[in-house]
Structure 1
Amino acid sequence: MSNPIASTPSTSARPRVLITGGGAGIGAAAALRCHADGYDPVIIDRQIDQVPAGFVAIQADLSSAEDTARALNEALAGGSITRLVNNVGIVVPNDAASQTLAEFDLAVSLNLRCAFQCMQALLPGMQAAGFGRIVNMSSRAALGKDLRTAYAATKAGLIGMTRVWALELGQWGITANAIGPGPIRTELFDKANPPGAERTQKIIQSVPVKRVGTPDDVAHAVAYMLDARSGFVTGQTLYVCGGMTVGVAPV
């Protein structure tokens, strides 16, 4: 594919953060929060409509290992990156009997393989720096949700990888944590759950805080995990779900 569709890469000393799926929704909110917190975001996504000043955007099909490698090479051409947000994902909803192998393979590639590939690409720079922050975007669905065989499997897999990376990479000052969002009001959420619809109201009533979350709610959790001062927190999963996992997730 073509070169980055980006604003001119920053020449400042601001640290860079790589965010997959940063073109919209939670990923875009995380990128904006990271920029406000003093990082220069490098976002990789299939579709990127707008590129704010100070951002680098690379267009890529992250469901392809080859295109992911190409995008990572472009991202790292400007030097090592020691903060990573593995946010990109796909839902492919279907019941267990009807979930196709093609849907399952797509979910594994985009939700799980991509995160692993990005970690491996950035790892040498983190090890050389003696510092790294990895945030994996899991989901409350990892605990179980109907019509989510492929999605739940891959999001649970992210939690498993997070815990292994925490054990293996801590010696280099690298932390790995996961975030498990509950219902978050994005464009995709509103399409599936129109405001005011009965189904949407049932979702809201099932949340202890009586509202759905916003991308900024998740971005705030991302910011905490990326902070240099969060070096004693690793291998954890933080559910940003308004309390929906209480009584479901293990203590």
Structure 2
Amino acid sequence: MLPKKGKRLSVTNETSPKERVLITGGTHGIGAAIAQRCHEDGYDVIILDREGDGAIHCDLSDSAATADTLNTVLADGPITRLVNNVGAVFPDSLEHQTLESFESAVSLNLRSAFQCAQALTPGMIDQNFGRIVSISSRAALGKLKRTAYSATKAGMLGMTRTWALELGAHGITSNAVAPGPIATDLFLNANPSDSPETQRIIESVPLKKMGKPEDVAHAVSYFLDERTGFVTGQTAYVCGGITVGLSDV
């Protein structure tokens, strides 16, 4: 059965391939901020998410459902911008992480990004233009109780760099955005602003504050821009400086 369709954020009824952007997990938190910024930037925004208004509903942890949904949206023509945003944390220590949760993290966080990129790149190659932006995390550099999450987010960086090498000759760029602590509703609900742990996180950030989803969306907007055609294979850490000293120059 094909997924239920919701509304699409759309600027015009007739949109060229270069103006269409597909965002996975775009109805909440960082994804919603990215979708809103893309709408403001004038793109025809197509959201794939399990739930939420304005999305084409799809369980991206299911490869068959993802394939069906991608076939549906591509029936309208090529999509030349992709934001691989969907993801979940699956927190646990190495000792207690289950194989089931590890495989779930790989399927949702990593496999869905690979599947979406593989489906969209033929259309990008045909247009001799494309922008792929994948949302990684500063946890890719290592973080306690994040075996599954850090593995998939580090894998996202590897795929980003490989796609940059493989697709550059076709006018396609591939970059990543790696957020640090971002004040999403999910984070704030789990970390009250007055809790000692939240204060410890803020104190660890050189800018002494949490980031906002809009900060991540702004970085994504830069990489999606048609004018950002000579930047590829790069990772922008939107982290308030917390990764300084941890990542390579």
Query: If the length of structure 1 is used for normalisation, what is the TM-score?
Result: 0.95
Match of 2:121 in 1: 123
Match of 1:93 in 2: 91
Residue 4 of structure 2 is aligned to residue 6 of structure 1: no
The partner residue of 1:156 within 154, 168, 179 is: 154
- The AA in structure 1 aligned to 2:14 is S
The Cα shift of 1:188 comes to 1.1
The Cα shift of 1:3 comes to 3.2
SS in 2 for 1:26: helix
Match of 2:107 in 1: 109
Distance, in Å, in 1 between the alignment partners of 2:232 and 2:8 is 33
SS in 2 for 1:230: coil
Query: If the length of structure 2 is used for normalisation, what is the TM-score?
Result: 0.96
Structure 2 matches for 1:36-47, cutoff 5 A? 36-47=40-51
Q: Which runs of 4+ in 1 moved over 2 A?
A: 7-10
Structure 2 matches for 1:41-60, cutoff 5 A? 41-48=45-52, 50-51=53-54, 57-60=55-58
Match of 1:78 in 2: 76
- The AA in structure 1 aligned to 2:5 is P
Match of 1:215 in 2: 213
The Cα shift of 1:7 comes to 4.5
SS in 1 for 2:227: helix
The Cα shift of 1:197 comes to 1.0
Distance, in Å, in 2 between the alignment partners of 1:64 and 1:194 is 33
- Which moves more between the two structures, 80-89 or 196-205? 196-205
Distance, in Å, in 1 between the alignment partners of 2:13 and 2:187 is 37
Structure 2 matches for 1:179-218, cutoff 5 A? 179-218=177-216
Match of 1:27 in 2: 31
Structure 2 matches for 1:223-234, cutoff 5 A? 223-234=221-232
The Cα shift of 1:77 comes to 2.0
The Cα shift of 1:192 comes to 1.7
* Distance of aligned partners of 1:93 and 1:24 in 2 relative to their CA distance in 1, 3 Å threshold: same
SS in 1 for 2:236: strand
Aligned length: 245
Distance, in Å, in 1 between the alignment partners of 2:3 and 2:109 is 24
- The AA in structure 1 aligned to 2:57 is Q
Distance, in Å, in 1 between the alignment partners of 2:110 and 2:71 is 19
Distance, in Å, in 1 between the alignment partners of 2:63 and 2:42 is 30
SS in 2 for 1:228: coil
Identity %: 61
The Cα shift of 1:2 comes to 3.8
The Cα shift of 1:198 comes to 1.0
Residues 64-122 of structure 1 deviation map (CA, whole Å, 9 limit, x = unaligned): 00011111112212211000000000100000111000010000000100000000110
The partner residue of 2:166 within 141, 156, 168 is: 168
CA contact (8 A) 2:8 2:46 kept: no
Distance, in Å, in 2 between the alignment partners of 1:136 and 1:8 is 21
Distance, in Å, in 2 between the alignment partners of 1:111 and 1:155 is 7
* Distance of aligned partners of 1:2 and 1:155 in 2 relative to their CA distance in 1, 3 Å threshold: closer
C-alpha RMSD of matched pairs (Å): 1.2
The Cα shift of 1:163 comes to 0.4
CA contact (8 A) 2:8 2:45 kept: no
Gaps of 5+ in 1: 52-56
Distance, in Å, in 2 between the alignment partners of 1:163 and 1:222 is 16
- The AA in structure 1 aligned to 2:46 is V
